[in-house]
Amino acid sequence: MFFLNGLKLLDLTMEKGSRTMVKILNGLKLSEPFFMVVNMMEAHSPYFPNDFNDKLYNGAIADWILGRGVSDGYLRELRFRYGIHARYAVDRAIEIVRA
């Protein structure tokens, strides 16, 4: 699902919790070094705005595993969308470390 966010288009499948983590960290006043583990979900599905329940994605994975094949168009789009999500996750991870 897409919404206009200022002048940018916001894809609701992109943000999966890291923005909240950045807000929390920016609000903390830490005086000592610490260790923190953050499980970034931003690079994981759902990848498609019309597939929030992952039905299309899981169906494609099942078809691939069972040897039924997956359309080239779907694979091309999935590779493209995964790259966008992965870049978003890296950007958020850097933002978390900086926070």
Q: What is the pLDDT of residue 5?
A: 43
Separation CA 41–CA 86 (nearest Å):
10
**Ramachandran region, residue 31 (left: φ > 0; alpha: ψ -120 to 50; beta: rest):** alpha
| Residue 67 confidence (pLDDT) above 90 | yes
| Residue 7 confidence (pLDDT) above 70 | no
Q: pLDDT tens, 51-66?
A: 888 898 899 999 999 9
The predicted model scores a pTM of 0.72
Q: State how far the alpha carbon of 76 is from the alpha carbons of 14, 42, 70, 81, 90, in Å.
A: 18, 19, 10, 9, 21
